[in-house]
Structure 1
Amino acid sequence: MKVFITGASGYIGGVVAEHLLAAGHHVAALARSAGAAERVGALGAEVVRGGLADLDVLRGAAAGADAVVHAAVDYAEPAMRAVEEPALGALLGALDGGRGFVYASTALVYPDAVAGPPAEDDAVDEGSPQVFKLHGERQVLAAGDVTATVLRGGLVHGRGGSALVSAMIAVSRRLGVAPYVEPGENLWSPVHVDDLARLYVAALERPVGGVFNAASRALPRVRDLAEAIAELTGADRGPLGADAAARAFGPLAGVLGRNITLDPTRAEEAFGWRTREVGVLEDVVRGSYRDLG
């Protein structure tokens, strides 16, 4: 089938596009710059020049596709919802006949998971630092003429990418300590980017509407991850102080102390999906992050 994807020049979207192409699908990818066009073209995707503000481009590309993946995001853009809402409207309005639409969301839409990994029907956090993702989810799920699938990803890692893991490595190198705040007993649900991409492909090939958590069943402590990063960088395994963490991570500092976990049962049952790639701790010490140490 022909899939139109936004965000294919980025980390997750690029790997999703790669897996779709490997599965024999035709991929058309939005590219707002010459550099983005070069990256998606190198994957083998058809280049569609434009950005999320180019609504006619989005409508035309979606209308010519059998399914759409929306993975484009700019977390540094404070008005991301104002950018995304009309873009989603254009994409969704061009689809009919139950065609598939997969929306990339995040585990950060849940509140701190102190009672264990949340399932999809559990409460969400209306004050989430990424609340625009909640609004985007609702807009997509309310569209009547598509099979809308929302994938809430955990801590994505692999291929030496991930903004958060890369930031933790950079802080550990710069400050010479493990990038966590005591006690570091809080848990995170990781997911390898290739495992996540396989779920996107499954959701497009066998569309099921609704919300699905995307994570492995491993639950490493943040301290474990931080100490693996310290081993990679040669840093001291002692933690950061709260003030140092705030200076080093800025808005991300609050994430370090949260339990960000997910129950992936629904995705496993609906799509027959299982994670199979290397875990995040091994990936940091002996895998794709070795060259970042």
Structure 2
Amino acid sequence: MKVFITGASGYVGGVVAEHLLAAGHHVAALARSERAAERVGALGAEVVRGGLADLDVLRDAAAGADAVVHAAVDYAEPAMRAVEEPALDALLGALDGGRGFVYAGTALVYPDAVAGPPEEDGALDEGSPQVFKLLGERQVLAAGDVTATVLRGGLVHGRGGSALVLAMIGVSKQLGAAPYVGLGENLWSPVHVDDLARLYVAALERPVGGVFNAASRTLLRMRDLAEAVAELTGADRAPLDPEAAARAFGPLAGVLERNITLDPTRAERAFGWRTREVGLLEDVVRGSYRHLA
């Protein structure tokens, strides 16, 4: 199968591309810079030069593919929706015949999961800090000529990556504290990036339309994660005060007190998928983040 992927020079997209290539698929990857082209080329992917604003490039690449993965994202771009909407139109408009389209969603489109893991078809948070993801999901699912799959990932970790985990480690080293606020009893659902990538491959090889939560079955207290980070960095286990957290984390600060939990049953049943990689706490203390101590 020939798969066109955006975001293959990034964290999740790069691992997805790697797993697709390992499974024997041909991968064509969008690369907007020379550095990105070098990275995806080193993976063994065909380099497609251009960015999300290059709509003709997107159309041509999607038209020549059997399936598309859209994993490109710039969280620092305040106008991300304005960038992504026409890009999705171009990609989706070039597909027909029920070809697969997998969209990289996020658990942050859900309201706070204080009452337990939300269902895929339940209420969403219209005020999400990543509302462009919610709007992107709806755009993809409304497309009529594709098999559209949205994968809402939990707290992605592994391979020494993840914006939030890296931010927590950096803040802990900077302030000498465990990077959480309050009691830290709020729960998160992590997912290892290699487990997540395997789900992408399964969703492309056996396309099933709809929304699927992507997470391990381990529910992790924020305090436990923050204290693992403190153990890694040699920091004190005391929490941050809210003002210090707001200054240190910026727009990520609000996430620290959220309950972000997911039930992966639907994905497990649809794709025969199970997580099997190392858990987040072990990964932080003894795994891929050890070099950051």
TM over 0.5: yes
For the residue of structure 2 that corresponds to 1:84, the secondary structure is helix
Tell me the equivalent position of 1:288: 288
Quote the residue 1:102 is aligned against: 102
Aligned length: 293
Q: Which residue of 1 aligns with 2:247?
A: 247
Give the 3-state SS of the residue equivalent to 2:187 in structure 1: coil
1:119 and 1:264 in contact (8 A); partners too: no
Q: Does 1:224 align with 2:224?
A: yes
1:118: Cα distance to partner?
Answer: 0.9
Q: 5+ unaligned residues in a row in structure 2: which ranges?
A: none
Alignment of 1:26-45 (within 5 A): 26-45=26-45
Instruction: Report Cα offsets for 1:210-255 as digits up to 9, x if no partner.
Output: 0000000101100000000000000000000011111110111110
1:143-292 correspondence to structure 2 within 5 Å: 143-292=143-292
SS at match of 2:223: helix
Q: Cα offset for 1:121?
A: 1.1
Query: In structure 2, what residue type is equivalent to 1:244?
Result: A
TM-score by structure 1 length? 1.00
- Taking the aligned partners of 1:52 and 1:141, their CA distance within structure 2 comes to 19
Match for 2:86: what amino acid?
P
1:57 aligns with 2:66: no
Q: 1:219 is aligned with what amino acid?
A: L
In 2: Cα distance, 1:91 partner to 1:285 partner? 41
- SS for the counterpart of 2:269 is helix
Q: Which residue of 1 aligns with 2:9?
A: 9
CA displacement, residues 8-35 of structure 1 (integer Å, 9 cap, x when unaligned): 0000000000000000000000000000
Give the whole-Å Cα distance in 2 for the aligned partners of 1:132 and 1:108. 11
Which amino acid in 1 is paired with 2:272? G
Runs of 4+ more than 4 Å apart: none
1:75 is matched with: 75
| Distance across 2 between alignment mates of 1:253 and 1:26 | 39
> Which residue type is aligned with residue 250 of structure 1?
G
Corresponding residue SS for 2:253 = helix
Question: Once the 2 structures are TM-superposed, how far is the Cα of residue 119 of structure 1 from its aligned partner?
Answer: 1.4
- TM-score normalized with structure 2 length: 1.00
Instruction: Find the residue that maps to 2:151 and give its secondary structure.
Output: strand
CA distance in 1, matches of 2:197, 2:178: 30
Deviation at 1:122, TM superposition (A): 1.4
**Per-residue CA distance 1:170-219 (angstroms, 9 max, x = gap):** 00001001000120000000000000000000000000000000000101
Query: In structure 2, what is the Cα distance between the partners aligned to 1:139 and 1:103?
Result: 10
Alignment RMSD (CA, Å):
0.4
Q: Work out the CA distance in 2 between the residues paired with 1:281 and 1:180.
A: 15
CA distance in 2, matches of 1:171, 1:127: 26
Distance 1:70 1:26 in 2: 16
> Following the alignment from structure 1 to structure 2, what is the Cα–Cα distance between the partners of residues 114 and 163?
23
Tell me by how many angstroms 1:74 deviates.
0.4
The residue identity in structure 1 corresponding to 2:219 is L
Amino acid at match of 1:71: A
Deviations 1:230-285 (A, max 9, x none): 00000000000011111110111110001011111100000000000000000000
State how far apart, in whole Å, the 2-side matches of 1:95 and 1:121 are: 25
Percent of counterpart pairs with the same letter? 90
Match of 1:138 in 2: 138
Deviations 1:17-58 (A, max 9, x none): 000000000000000000000000000000000000000000
Unmatched segments (≥5 aa) in structure 1? none
